Amino acid sequence: MIKRIRFTALPLCMCLIPSGARAVMLAGLVAALFTVLAATPASAQSDSSRRGSALSGAVDFRADTPPAAPAASDPAPAGPASSRPAADQSGAASDTGAEAASTVTGTEPAPAAADPGTAPVPAPVDPAAHPVPAPADPPAYPAPAAAEPAAQAEPAHSSGHGGNPWSAAAAMTALTDGNSRFVGGGVSCRNPQAEKALRHGLVEGQTPLAAILSCSDSRVPVEEIFDLNFGDIFSIRAAGSVPGVDQLGSIEYAVAHLGVPVVVVLAHTHCGAVTAAVQGADEPGNLGALLHKLDPITQAVSGVANADKITRAIYLSARRFSEQLPELSPVIKEALDSGKLTIVDAVYDLDTGQVLFHPQPQP
């Protein structure tokens, strides 16, 4: 304030003083001014400098242009941005200028980077000192065993493929029990999980419990209706269960070489071949020759009422063909006479699924 008054009164005084004395006084005032400036403390000059720097920093702080980003290799921590309005920052520039300038310029020293050469390198791990644990073995699940025969017996006789362990009684029990399971929906002995092992076990040979001569009808799946597995039945098929030369030769092989204790002649209800024969169908070729082998059956039921004629012919066909087997084959007759073979007739009912053994012909 004193300096401001001093410089304001100077021009007024100069107007009142004569020119000669004015020059002298002007020279004195100039000398006094230099003396005053020279005597000003350094601290005042530093304070003035700091204020100017703070004002400059405040102007830069209000600018919209963001400060330059620090170098990636030596990042400097950025100070917190001011939350006050630009007008407050301008009014308080004298108080906070130093802090704003420090924030904008980022003069805080960055920490020194670690020397990678001094970091210790870990020693390699010895695999032998840390063995990898062996993987745990999966739990053992034994394959389900194939259905065992109802009973075991001494071989009926030795054959080229070894003795057959089935007896006639055990084989008949297996057949009747299997059909009961099929009809009643009981637990089946056929296990798909065991079939692979069963197939491998049959590669070297077979010991079926029975040979079954059945009709070729697709509605008569023999292994299914007796609920038996691979290797249990030696299956021989022909339309009408008619025993021709080929069928007789197959039965002889099962008896003489596989040692089957039982031969079953299996007819079934609603048989197309028997129905055609009873109705007198005239078929050409081999089919006609096959139907003519049923002529003895059709003649036996000629006097039966038409409503029952076909059913009675079906039951009679199973009985008649089972009786003809030893008459038509010496091999079968020898096994039957020696007690090594049992021949059984049976009828499968398509409606109920039941197999009737030794059925009596319907009246």
Q: Which pLDDT band holds residue 154 (cuts at 50, 70, 90)?
A: very low
Strands 342-348 and 355-357: antiparallel
Whether the per-residue pLDDT at 243 is higher than 80: the answer is yes
pLDDT winner (highest mean) among 43-52, 185-194, 335-344: 335-344
pLDDT winner (highest mean) among 85-94, 102-111, 131-140, 249-258: 249-258
pLDDT of residue 20: 64
Whether the per-residue pLDDT at 4 is higher than 80: the answer is no
Whether the per-residue pLDDT at 280 is higher than 70: the answer is yes
Determine how many CB atoms are found less than 10 A away from the CB of residue 341: 26
Cα–Cα distance between 228 and 173 in angstroms, integer? 12
What is the average pLDDT across 157-172? 74
Tens of pLDDT, residues 281-295: 999 999 999 999 999
In whole numbers, what is the pLDDT of the chain averaged over residues?
73
pLDDT of residue 247: 97
CA 347 to chain centre: 46
Cα–Cα distance between 156 and 208 in angstroms, integer? 12
By C-alpha distance, which of 149, 185, 187 is closest to 168?
A: 149
- Greater confidence (299 vs 143) lies with 299
Q: Which pLDDT band holds residue 207 (cuts at 50, 70, 90)?
A: very high
Cα–Cα distance between 319 and 313 in angstroms, integer? 10
pLDDT of residue 134: 53
Q: Which pLDDT band holds residue 40 (cuts at 50, 70, 90)?
A: low
Phi first, then psi, for residue 298 (nearest 5°) are: -65, -35
Element (H, E) at 62: helix 42-62
- The pTM (predicted TM-score) of the whole model is 0.56
By C-alpha distance, which of 223, 241, 234 is closest to 319?
A: 241
pLDDT of residue 62: 43
Kindly list the distances between the CA atom of residue 303 and the CA atoms of 133, 282, 292, in Å, as whole numbers in the listed order.
Answer: 86, 21, 19
Whether the per-residue pLDDT at 127 is higher than 90: the answer is no
Q: Which pLDDT band holds residue 142 (cuts at 50, 70, 90)?
A: very low
Tens of pLDDT, residues 81-110: 444 444 444 444 344 444 433 443 444 444
The domain ranges of the chain are 1-38, 168-357
Give the residue carrying structure tokens 């210790």: 120
3-class DSSP string for 112-129: CCCCHHHCCCCCCCCCCC
What is the average pLDDT across 130-159? 43
Q: Which pLDDT band holds residue 19 (cuts at 50, 70, 90)?
A: low
pLDDT of residue 126: 59
In the chain, the percentage of residues whose pLDDT exceeds 70 is: 57
pLDDT of residue 191: 73
Q: Which pLDDT band holds residue 209 (cuts at 50, 70, 90)?
A: very high
Whether the per-residue pLDDT at 256 is higher than 50: the answer is yes
Angle, alpha carbons 79-83-89 (nearest 5°): 95
Residues 6+ apart with CB under 8 A from 70: 76, 78, 106, 110
Whether the per-residue pLDDT at 204 is higher than 90: the answer is no
By C-alpha distance, which of 339, 269, 259, 342 is closest to 310?
A: 269
Least confident piece of the model among 39-43, 239-243, 332-336: 39-43
Whether domain 168-357 has CATH 1.10.3720.10: no
